[in-house]
Every structure is written in C-alpha cells, then in structure tokens.
Chain A
Amino acid sequence: MSVRHLRAVVVKEIRHVLRDRWTFILVLVTPISLLFIMAYALTVDIDNVPIAVMDHDQSAVSRDFIQQLSAGEELDLVARANALEEVERLLVEGTIKAGVIIQPAFGEDLVGQRGLRLQVIIDGTEPESGTFAMEQVARRTEAFVVRSMPSGSAEWLRPIELNVRALYNPGLEPRVDLVPGLISMVLGLPALSVALALSREREHGTLEQVLVTPISRADLLVGKMIPYIAIGMINVVAIPIMAMAAFGIPFRGSFGLFFLLSIVFLFAMLSMGTLIGVFMRTQPAALALSFLVIFFPGFFMTGIFYPIAAMPDELQMEAMLLPGTHYAIITRSIFLRAVGLEILWPNVLALAGLGVVFTAVGAFFFKKRLG
C-alpha cells in the first residue's frame, strides 16, 4: 500500500467524474431522480376505477344504492348495462374494470333482512384495480346497509370485527415502506459507475499505461472505489432529506447510524461493481452484467417489493448474498422503526463480509497484465 499512489488514483478519478458529463450525471443526478420517479410510478394511488352497473331490481332502494356506489373519488360509474353480455363486452374492451350486478328483489330482500343479492365481476387481468373495486363495493354496500337499516339491525353483515392497528405506517401507505427500500436500488448506480470506469480504462488503453507503473493492484482498485463511495455519500445525505420533504416519509431513527451503515453498504456494493469491472473488458459488457447481477436481483430479490419470506428457500439463500437485501432491512428499520445496532448487527456484519469477499476476489483476479 502506498498513500501517494492511492491519492493519485483518487484525485485522477474525481477529476474524471467532475469533467465527464455522463459519469457526473450517472453518479450524482440519476440516483435521486430515479428514486423520485420510482417512488411515484410504483405506488400510484388507484382512483376513479371505471365500473358499470346492471340493475335488475330497478327499485328505489337499488337506485339509492347506485347513488352511494358512485359517490366519492374511488369508483367511477361509466356505464349502465342491461345484459350480462354487455358487462362482459365492456370488460373485454377495457372500458370498465368491474361490473356490479344488482339481482332482482335486491331492495325487498334488504328491507326484509333476507340477505344481499349482489354480484361483482372484476377484470382478473388487472387484479390491482379489480380487487380495489371489489373492496370499495363491499365497503360502500356495508355503509349503505348500515345506514338504511334501523340501528344495530345490520350486525348480521359483519359477524367478526377485527380492530387492526398498523404500527409504524398507520395508513398502510405503500410508499412509506417502498421509498426506504428503494434507496438500496438507486445506490447501485455508483456501483455501476465503478464497473464502467474500470472497463473504460481497458477499452481506452489507459489501463495499459498504468499497469507498467509500480502501483500495487490493491491501490489501483481501492483508489478507484473511494471516489465513488464518497459520491455515494452525497446521495446518502440527500436522499433522506428528499424522502422526507417530497414524500413525507418519516425518519424516526438515528441519522448518524444510517450514515455509517450506508458507508458499509456502499463498500459492499462498490466492491461488487469493481468485481464486475475486473472481469468485463468492455463497457457494454460491464453494463449488461451490472444489470444482471445488481439491478434485476436488486429489484426482485432484495425484498423491496416482494417479501423475502415469500420466496422459495433457494432464492432466500441467494437474496442473503445481495448487499441490497441487508441494506433494505437496515433502511426500513432505521427510517420507520428507529431500530439500532442491537437488532441490525447481523445485517451489518453480512454487508461488511460481502464487501471484503468481493474485494478480495476482485484483487485476486485482477492481474497487472493485459489479456
């Protein structure tokens, strides 16, 4: 190890990032804007789901019920059907996401407390809006029944009543959970940058000139990583501020701890990027492999969207080898549950271990040679 060599590489790399417009955008602008876009795009509030109603009852009660259904923002009554075929056609066309069919004698049965003759057909190809419509219809029906019955007489509709309280995210807002998780995704971009930076030096031939100097392999690789870790830290500070300001995500834990553990994560992630750069000789190859081993698994296997517990056992094992999995746990815990090292230490240990292993493998396979 030579401090002078290390410093020379770090300074050179920082100059490159600041002067190469695309690298600058990739490492400093993209992470925050990507988080912004994903947080919006992936947690769209479902509203104004188009539905059709087919009223076989045609009574005052059923008309009143239809009125109740279309009140509010959630459901949008766009058509009235006269036959089942018509409901189907509207579903096929995509004009509606759900059809509500009011059976004959709907009003009579309700008033006589004989039950509720109501059918809901949803578009199963879009389960999100379909189930949303179903839940809304159920909720409104309940409210309608409770309102139109004498007090207490509608209890038969809900035999069990659960009193549920969601801790840490009382509104069960998907974004509150998602945004802290997504941070691990966007911090993959500095890792991509270091992979590209290394393979670019091979492509441009600059590596050849460096390899004939007496610099050690470790100095070269670590010197290459340090600037991207530093730039990642800028993101680590900026992202929570943006998450709080733009999305109202609470930050309940210790910021100091978050900052420190983010360094450990960046180290693990950047050493993964370095490993890619060691093996890939061209930038397109490095890019492709980064997507394959950083971004796709980061998206689907780190528990950001799908709980790890729901994955098959073999995939759960693999998920534990991804830095993103551990960091997603860390960010969510610190942001939302104010948890400290007493709970997170296994994840911190895993991140540090992954970083050391990736760096060691990279340094082992990185020879001071061409070809």
Chain B
Amino acid sequence: MTERNGDRGEPPAADRGDVVIETRGLTRDFKEIRAVDGLDLTVRRGELFGLIGPDGAGKTTTLRLLAGLLKISDGWAAVAGRDLTREPEAVKPHIGYMAQRFSLYAELTVMENLRFFSELYDVPPRERAERTDRLLSFAGLTPFRSRRAEHLSGGMKKKLALACTLIHEPPILLLDEPTTGVDPVSRREFWDILTELYTGGTTILVTTPYMDEADRCTRVGLIYQGHLVRCDAPEVIRAGIGEELIELQTDQWREAQVVAKDLPGVSQVMTYGESLHLLVDAAEDRLPEIEAGLEAEGITYRSLRPTRPRMEEAFISLVRDREREGLR
C-alpha cells in the first residue's frame, strides 16, 4: 500500500466500519485533462451526500471511479470496505449505480428491464416478484409495467433506472445527476424517493449541477476542476463562506449593476430575477456605505437588505477563493 500513495494518507484501518466510501488523493487522467485531481472524500454510513459542481467539474468521473467503471490513475479508493484498486469486482454487489444517461434497454419493457437486472444481481427467484412489485409501486411505475422503456417519459425513465439500481437492495447508492433533464415535478418526486431511501438507512452519494438540491442533502461536497473545494453540511457551507449577501431591488438594475461593482466591500454582483445580489464582506457594516454609493449615482431602489446566501452564492464565493489561491 505504501508504493501506491505514501504521501497521500493511509488506507483506512479495519475498525473504521462507519466509513462506507473513502478516497485518498483519488486522481484520474484522461488524454488531455486531469478530470479528478487528488480528491479526498469520506462518506459515512447513512449519509445522503451531495457532490455538487458545474459541468465538467469531475462529478461523473468520480462516480465512475467509485463504481469501478474507470481505472484509478493515482491515489486510492474504497467502497463498502473493498479496495477499488485491488478488487473492483468485489464492490459491485454492494452498490447501486445509476448512470447520468438513460442506460436501460429501450426495446425491453419496464418489467423485462427489472427482471434482467434482478438476474444479473442474483436476486433469489423467490423474492423477485415481491421486490419488483414493491419497487414498481415505490417508483410509481405499476401502471406502466408492460410498457417499453423507450416509450416512457423522461422522469419515468429516471425512476425505472433507479428501480433497476435498487433491485438487489444495495446498502450504497451512487447516483449520477439523476434529476438532470427532468421536469420540476418529477424532480421533486425523485428527491422524495431519495429521502425515503435515506430514511430507510441507505447511504446515498448523489451528484447534481443544481445548487438548490444541496439543501436536501445531509452533507455536501463542492467539486470544482477535479478538486473538492469544500465539504460540510449545507447550512454550514452557506453560513461559513466568510461573505454575506445583500439583496437590492431596483428598476434601474442595469445601472445599479455597474455602480454596485465598484462600491467598497462588494466582491461580486449577481443578477437574480429582477433583483441584484451583492456579495459583501460584512452586510450590516457595509449597508450604509452601499446606500450612500447608490444615492450618489442617482440610483433609486425599492429595497436594500441583507439576505441569507444560497448554495449558489456560497459555491461561487468558494470557487473564487480557490482561484485567488491558485493565483498566489
């Protein structure tokens, strides 16, 4: 084990039974790019862990590495107590992995797909009928059991994929952007299902590009350019970004945007619907200065008040910190 990554930390001791997913310096290189770069991640049993980041951040690669679908270039990873660098096949019975793309057989029916995966996962024939029935009703697919997968709606396809992933009742779920490209209602339903699974004790690692979904996770890892920028409970991340948020509502938001950028203490101006969000170092202290600055430029506003930062602002702030560090 020392020749693999002597300086990147030790593989876990046998007594760390609570940790079900662990990576140390996990790295994956493709021809031109390093998609995952020294990622250290720890997920404990029973967590609903959200891996959040923009497209191309390395979320899919990380999940594929954890599912044994890609070879680890450097570093070390273990899932369900099995070392992925040594025995990737041993991990497979313990995980349910759902790819980002719809990857079931389009010309097979809902039932046939479930049956296929139940056989590949060695579900005992006695339990098969009961389990498929339960999963079908769980996913709301019972009326569509004889429908070919290609004729399902986008949201139903995702639910079928999840049902196939759950057929062997895996203790660990790896879900790659399960809600991307799904309508808001289906998205909500999908998260309700995930919450139910989480309540039932399943450990879930889910990736998403949607920052608002982070709040439904117990813990969130922000991933950017293959690095884990921050990893904490969502409220801690939102509170602890070191910056605060001021919401500005004005009819002159174009002008306000230009003016606000140069006001003291303002690090970032973002449009948010009809209002502007200003990231500032300290909201209460800067409020009078910002008020004065806007009035000096003749900008009238309906309201100007401190507000709670959302995950998105938190993420952008963290990424900017990261970039600044990189420059130094």
Using CB atoms and an 8 Å cutoff, list the residues of chain A in contact with chain B.
2, 4-5, 7-8, 11-12, 15-16, 19-20, 204-215, 368-371
Contacts and interface: CB of A to CB of B under 8 A. Distances in A.
Contact of B103 (A16, A209, A215): A209
Interface of B: 30, 64, 67-71, 88-89, 92-93, 95, 97, 99, 101-108, 112, 115-117, 119-122, 161, 164
B14 to A, nearest CB: 24
A213 B117 contact: yes
A11 B118 CA distance: 13
B104 A212 contact: no
A226 to B, nearest CB: 15
A7 B67 contact: no
B95 A212 contact: yes
Nearest to B90: A214
A368 B89 contact: yes
A91 B101 CA distance: 64
Contacts of A208: 69, 99, 101, 103
Q: Which 8 interchain pairs have the tightest Cβ spacing?
A: A8-B119, A205-B103, A213-B120, A212-B97, A209-B103, A205-B101, A19-B107, A214-B92
A357 to B, nearest CB: 25
Contacts of B106: 204
SS class of chain A's interface: helix, strand, loop or mixed?
Answer: helix
Listed residue (B95, B104, B105, B161) with the most chain A CB atoms within 10 angstroms of its CB: B105
A19 B105 CA distance: 11
Contacts of B122: 2, 4, 214
Nearest to A11: B116
B69 A211 contact: yes
A368 B105 contact: no
Given A209-B99, A369-B69, A369-B70, A214 B104 contact: no
Given A205-B102, A205-B103, A208-B99, A12 B92 contact: no
Contact of A215 (B88, B99, B120): B120
22 contacts: A4-B122, A5-B119, A5-B120, A12-B105, A12-B108, A16-B107, A16-B108, A20-B107, A205-B99, A205-B102, A205-B103, A206-B103, A206-B104, A207-B103, A208-B101, A209-B97, A209-B104, A210-B120, A213-B121, A214-B92, A369-B68, A371-B70
B92 A213 contact: yes
Contact of A212 (B68, B107, B112, B116): B68
Contacts of A204: 103, 106
A145 B204 CA distance: 98
A4 B119 CA distance: 6
Contacts of A20: 107
Contacts of A370: 64, 69-70
A15 B105 CA distance: 10
A370 to B, nearest CB: 5
Nearest to B97: A212
Contacts of A212: 67-69, 92, 95, 97
Nearest to A6: B119
A202 B89 CA distance: 19
Nearest to B150: A19
A16 B113 CA distance: 12
Contact of B108 (A5, A15, A207): A15
Given A212-B92, A213-B92, A214-B92, A206 B120 contact: no
Listed residue (B88, B92, B120, B164) with the most chain A CB atoms within 10 angstroms of its CB: B120
A304 to B, nearest CB: 36
Nearest to B31: A371
Contacts of B117: 209, 213
